[in-house]
């Protein structure tokens, strides 16, 4: 999953390591050289010569602006076998990283945030905290990616556990992205954790919608609330809530018709569902493989009818990873689950830290 992006992030690390070559201090052989080095070091620490002191005084403050290292800092780093990352070391690798992120369908503002974070973390840094330049790059990338991926993240299971029952969750998104299948998968995920659920088919206009969700309900042995085709979606989900209350069911999973944010009548349906049902969560569903389109749609749906989180389907088929990186940042709402296959068990709770570790080859 996201193998293409993994390769590009690895390429950035290699580029920076290549540009910022390590300057090792000259080595001398024999115990006399060691003693001489120690003596020289001690004398320098205790009484630096006037030329060195003057140079340090003249240049020490020069490194304060824009994180640029001073001549004194560079000399000190060289003397200890360390390096300092400078703007020229990062210029070309950061450009390549930007192109790599955009080619992986990472949204422009997200890519810019990642680049700025990496630049701020690395510029002027020596290797005093880490052993290699590669580790410094990896640390900067780790923090930059996590900052954008983990926006708005919350513990989904904890929210289900603490909420007053029944918990009502409404699913929305465009046609054909796997909303109904995701509902069935989430029903199974909840059952594995001891929560009962009922499905409510608010997709009342699409021919065959009742039959599709009924097939999932039968396979999973779940109850389904549905009305005749053309019925009121809000009324169906409301009936699902009443059924759950009467039968001590923990969660109501409400399907809705696929729509575009520009479909005024369908968006009005969502507004009515909000008024009539007052769901605890509204989850946006789209395909990870849709890349930038999924990111744009997530933002548009959130602007038109506020969502609480997202499920990205077909994540196992996505080599770019742009949607997974971008959705939370552009909406301010977290990715909650990834669909990773065709089976009912192929729904993975989204863990930002695990994704970042995977992208950087840390797992």
> Binding site membership for GTP: which residues?
173-180, 255-259, 313-316
What are the distances in angstroms from CA 44 to CA 37, 298, 361?
A: 10, 61, 43
Q: Which residue has the tokens 């729509």?
A: 259
**Residue 10 DSSP one-character state:** H
Backbone angles phi, psi at 197, to 5 degrees: -150, 155
**Which parts are annotated binding residues?**
173-180, 255-259, 313-316
Q: Which two tokens stand for residue 12?
A: 């950035």
> What residues pair up with 347 in beta bridges, in sequence order?
339
Dihedral sign from CA coordinates of 328, 333, 337, 341: negative
> What residues pair up with 256 in beta bridges, in sequence order?
202
> What residues pair up with 167 in beta bridges, in sequence order?
251
Sequence-distant (≥ 6) Cβ neighbours of residue 290 within 8 angstroms: 177, 297, 323
CA Rg value for the chain: 28
Distance between CA atoms of residues 152 and 334, nearest Å: 5
Q: Which two tokens stand for residue 144?
A: 């930059």
Q: Which residue has the tokens 């569903």?
A: 285
What are the distances in angstroms from CA 206 to CA 131, 233, 301?
A: 60, 12, 20
CB 2 within 8 A of CB 318: yes
Sequence-distant (≥ 6) Cβ neighbours of residue 34 within 8 angstroms: 28
CB 292 within 8 A of CB 322: yes
Exposure b/e, 218-237, CB count within 10 A at least 16 = b: eebebebbbbeeebbbbbbb
Dihedral sign from CA coordinates of 254, 258, 261, 263: negative
Backbone angles phi, psi at 286, to 5 degrees: -155, 170
């Amino acid at each position: 999953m996201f193998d293409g992006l993994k390769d590009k992030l690895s390429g950035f690390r290699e580029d920076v390591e290549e540009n910022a070559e390590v300057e090792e201090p000259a080595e001398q052989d024999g115990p006399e050289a060691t003693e001489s080095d120690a003596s020289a070091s001690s004398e320098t620490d205790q009484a630096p010569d006037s030329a060195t002191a003057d140079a340090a005084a003249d240049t020490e403050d020069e490194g304060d602006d824009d994180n640029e290292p001073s001549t004194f800092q560079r000399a000190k780093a060289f003397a200890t076998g360390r390096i300092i990352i400078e703007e020229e070391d990062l210029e070309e690798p950061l450009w390549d990283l930007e192109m790599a992120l955009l080619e992986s369908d990472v949204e422009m503002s997200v890519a810019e945030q990642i680049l700025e974070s990496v630049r701020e973390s690395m510029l002027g840094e020596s290797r005093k905290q880490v052993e290699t330049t590669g580790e410094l790059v990896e640390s900067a990338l780790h923090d930059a990616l996590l900052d954008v991926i983990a926006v708005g993240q919350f513990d989904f299971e904890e929210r289900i556990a603490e909420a007053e029952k029944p918990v009502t969750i409404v699913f929305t998104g465009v046609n054909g992205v796997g909303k109904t299948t995701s509902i069935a998968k989430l029903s199974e995920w909840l059952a594995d954790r001891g929560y009962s659920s009922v499905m409510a088919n608010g997709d009342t206009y699409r021919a065959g919608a009742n039959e599709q969700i009924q097939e999932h309900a039968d396979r999973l042995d779940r109850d389904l609330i549905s009305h005749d085709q053309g019925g009121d979606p809000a009324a169906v989900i409301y009936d699902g809530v009443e059924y759950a209350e009467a039968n001590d069911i923990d969660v109501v999973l409400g399907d809705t018709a696929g729509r575009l944010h520009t479909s005024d009548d369908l968006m009005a349906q969502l507004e009515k569902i909000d008024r009539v049902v007052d769901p605890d969560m509204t989850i946006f569903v789209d395909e990870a493989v849709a890349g930038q389109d999924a990111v744009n749609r997530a933002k548009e749906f959130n602007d038109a009818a506020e969502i609480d989180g997202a499920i990205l389907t077909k994540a196992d088929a996505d080599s770019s990873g742009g949607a997974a990186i971008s959705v939370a940042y552009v909406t301010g709402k977290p990715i909650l689950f990834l669909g990773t296959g065709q089976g009912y068990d192929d729904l993975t709770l989204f863990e930002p830290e695990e994704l970042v570790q995977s992208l950087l080859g840390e797992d």
